[in-house]
Structure 1
Amino acid sequence: TMLFVIINEVLPETYIRRNEEKSSAAILIGFIFMTYLSIVLG
Protein backbone atom coordinates (compact mmCIF):
# COMPACT_ATOMS: atom_id res chain seq x y z
CA THR A 1 0.00 0.00 0.00
CA MET A 2 2.81 2.41 0.85
CA LEU A 3 4.49 1.74 -2.50
CA PHE A 4 1.29 2.66 -4.32
CA VAL A 5 0.97 5.92 -2.39
CA ILE A 6 4.60 6.87 -3.02
CA ILE A 7 4.42 6.09 -6.74
CA ASN A 8 1.17 8.03 -7.05
CA GLU A 9 2.81 11.09 -5.49
CA VAL A 10 6.28 10.87 -7.05
CA LEU A 11 5.66 9.77 -10.63
CA PRO A 12 3.35 12.60 -11.74
CA GLU A 13 5.93 15.15 -10.58
CA THR A 14 8.72 13.45 -12.52
CA TYR A 15 6.61 13.15 -15.67
CA ILE A 16 6.14 16.91 -15.67
CA ARG A 17 9.91 17.35 -15.94
CA ARG A 18 10.16 14.95 -18.94
CA ASN A 19 12.36 12.38 -17.18
CA GLU A 20 9.97 9.45 -17.50
CA GLU A 21 12.54 6.76 -18.29
CA LYS A 22 15.08 7.82 -15.69
CA SER A 23 12.52 8.28 -12.95
CA SER A 24 10.80 4.96 -13.60
CA ALA A 25 14.14 3.15 -13.63
CA ALA A 26 15.26 4.89 -10.43
CA ILE A 27 12.06 3.97 -8.60
CA LEU A 28 12.31 0.35 -9.75
CA ILE A 29 15.98 0.08 -8.79
CA GLY A 30 15.30 1.70 -5.43
CA PHE A 31 12.43 -0.69 -4.72
CA ILE A 32 14.55 -3.72 -5.63
CA PHE A 33 17.44 -2.45 -3.49
CA MET A 34 15.22 -1.80 -0.47
CA THR A 35 13.60 -5.23 -0.83
CA TYR A 36 17.05 -6.81 -1.01
CA LEU A 37 18.16 -4.98 2.14
CA SER A 38 14.99 -6.01 3.93
CA ILE A 39 15.58 -9.67 3.10
CA VAL A 40 19.32 -9.66 3.86
CA LEU A 41 19.14 -7.67 7.10
CA GLY A 42 15.96 -9.33 8.27
Structure 2
Amino acid sequence: AIACGFFSSSHFSKCFKIIHGTTPQQCRLTVPAWVGPGLG
Protein backbone atom coordinates (compact mmCIF):
# COMPACT_ATOMS: atom_id res chain seq x y z
CA ALA A 1 0.00 0.00 0.00
CA ILE A 2 2.78 2.42 0.88
CA ALA A 3 4.60 1.66 -2.39
CA CYS A 4 1.43 2.74 -4.21
CA GLY A 5 1.31 6.10 -2.42
CA PHE A 6 -1.02 5.29 0.49
CA PHE A 7 -0.04 6.34 3.99
CA SER A 8 -1.25 3.10 5.59
CA SER A 9 -2.69 -0.26 4.69
CA SER A 10 -5.98 0.63 6.38
CA HIS A 11 -6.35 3.70 4.16
CA PHE A 12 -5.65 1.55 1.10
CA SER A 13 -8.27 -0.98 2.22
CA LYS A 14 -10.90 1.74 2.65
CA CYS A 15 -10.20 3.17 -0.81
CA PHE A 16 -10.15 -0.32 -2.35
CA LYS A 17 -13.56 -1.12 -0.85
CA ILE A 18 -15.06 2.15 -2.13
CA ILE A 19 -13.83 1.49 -5.66
CA HIS A 20 -14.31 -2.28 -5.90
CA GLY A 21 -17.17 -2.87 -3.46
CA THR A 22 -15.23 -5.52 -1.55
CA THR A 23 -12.24 -5.67 0.75
CA PRO A 24 -8.79 -6.67 -0.52
CA GLN A 25 -8.97 -9.82 1.62
CA GLN A 26 -12.32 -10.89 0.18
CA CYS A 27 -11.03 -10.17 -3.31
CA ARG A 28 -7.98 -12.40 -2.72
CA LEU A 29 -10.27 -15.19 -1.54
CA THR A 30 -12.52 -15.02 -4.60
CA VAL A 31 -9.98 -14.49 -7.40
CA PRO A 32 -8.58 -17.79 -8.71
CA ALA A 33 -4.96 -18.44 -7.74
CA TRP A 34 -3.96 -18.84 -11.41
CA VAL A 35 -4.81 -15.21 -12.18
CA GLY A 36 -1.46 -13.48 -12.23
CA PRO A 37 -0.53 -9.82 -11.84
CA GLY A 38 -2.05 -7.63 -14.53
CA LEU A 39 -4.50 -10.31 -15.63
CA GLY A 40 -7.31 -9.68 -13.17
Q: TM-score, normalised by structure 2?
A: 0.33
| Structure with greater helix share of residues | 1
Q: TM-score, normalised by structure 1?
A: 0.31
- Greater RCO, 1 or 2 (C-alpha within 8 Å, sep 6+): 1
Give the greater-gyration-radius structure (CA). Answer: 1
